[in-house]
A and B are shown apart, each in its own frame.
Chain A
Amino acid sequence: EVQLVQSGAEVKKSGESLKISCKGSGYSFTSYWIGWVRQVTGKGLEWMGTISPGDSASRYSPSFQGQVTISADKSINTAYLQWSSLKASDTAMYYCARRYCSSISCYGDLKDSFDIWGQGTMVAVSS
């Protein structure tokens, strides 16, 4: 079964660091990009960035560039999202998702979509 399993909920204080994870299984982890999506309670979905686990190439939303770091360890089929200094405004649910393309480059691929999602990791940051 193709799946992404995320790490558990976190409760942190402002200024603390945090790294959450997303482990892929049932498919070739290095063949598909992984994206991270934020959802504040009661609000919509915001794309944060994507990473290619094979070569760690990454792309960030301008809204999140410099605020978070996306990384991957292909040896253990795991992608990460990390903060060096959390803020109360980082309180949200975070989802990882597999970016499906029918070719590795994704260039010009109409099938480019997030087809498999993790269960989400809730991050609560108190001030």
Chain B
Amino acid sequence: DIQMTQSPSSLSASVRDRVTITCRASQSINRYLNWYQQKPGKAPKLLIYAASSLQSGVPSRFSGSGSGTDFTLTISSLQPEDFATYYCQQSYSTAFTFGPGTKVDIK
């Protein structure tokens, strides 16, 4: 199975901060990398697919980059509604795997 890791596991940030989360795959996954946001008590929501494509309806302050094994999710200006946990997920193999998550909370 392809293992996914994320760093940091948690971070504290302020509104309007620029936030970057990193995801790493145990082998090259090309650009088969998706990002999800999950708020407490809610289902995950797809933010970015194919490493850098913004899902319809997702604010443009979210962006993704990377290919191969290393990927990043960037929030250019953190908003109050962005405090949540973020997960990466690979779809290179149909044995899908998620990263362990990065919790973004208020400083």
Residues in B with CB closer than 8 Å to A53 are none
Are B87 and A114 in contact (CB-based, < 8 A)? no
Beta-carbon nearest neighbor of B97 in chain A? A47
Q: Which residues of chain B from 18 to 68 have a CB within 8 Å of any chain A CB?
A: 30-32, 34, 36, 38, 43-46, 49-51, 53, 55
Are A118 and B43 in contact (CB-based, < 8 A)? yes
Residues in A with CB closer than 8 Å to B87 are 44-45
- Alpha-carbon gap, A100 to B91, bound state (A): 11
Produce 1/0 per residue, A72-85, CB < 8 A to B.
00000000000000
Q: Which residues of chain A from 76 to 127 have a CB within 8 Å of any chain B CB?
A: 95, 97, 100, 106, 110-115, 117-120
Known: A44-B98, A44-B100, A44-B101. A115 touches B1 (CB 8 A): no
Are A115 and B101 in contact (CB-based, < 8 A)? no
Q: Which residues of chain B from 58 to 107 have a CB within 8 Å of any chain A CB?
A: 87, 89, 91, 94-101
Is A61 interfacial (CB 8 A cutoff)?
A: yes
Are A117 and B44 in contact (CB-based, < 8 A)? yes
Are B98 and A45 in contact (CB-based, < 8 A)? yes
What size tier do the contact residues of chain B reach? 20 to 34
A interface size (C-beta, 8 A): 24
Known: A45-B44, A62-B1. A113 touches B98 (CB 8 A): no
Is A30 interfacial (CB 8 A cutoff)?
A: no
Are A112 and B91 in contact (CB-based, < 8 A)? yes
- Nearest CB of A to B37, in Å: 11
Contact of B89 among A62, A114, A117, A120 (CB under 8 A): A114
- Nearest CB of A to B38, in Å: 8
Are A112 and B46 in contact (CB-based, < 8 A)? no
Chain A residues engaging chain B, CB cutoff 8 angstroms:
35, 37, 44-47, 50, 59, 61-62, 95, 97, 100, 106, 110-115, 117-120
The contact sample of 22 A-B pairs, CB cut-off 8 A, is A37-B44, A37-B98, A44-B99, A45-B89, A45-B101, A46-B98, A50-B96, A62-B95, A97-B44, A110-B32, A110-B50, A110-B51, A111-B49, A111-B53, A113-B34, A113-B49, A113-B91, A114-B46, A115-B46, A117-B43, A117-B45, A118-B43
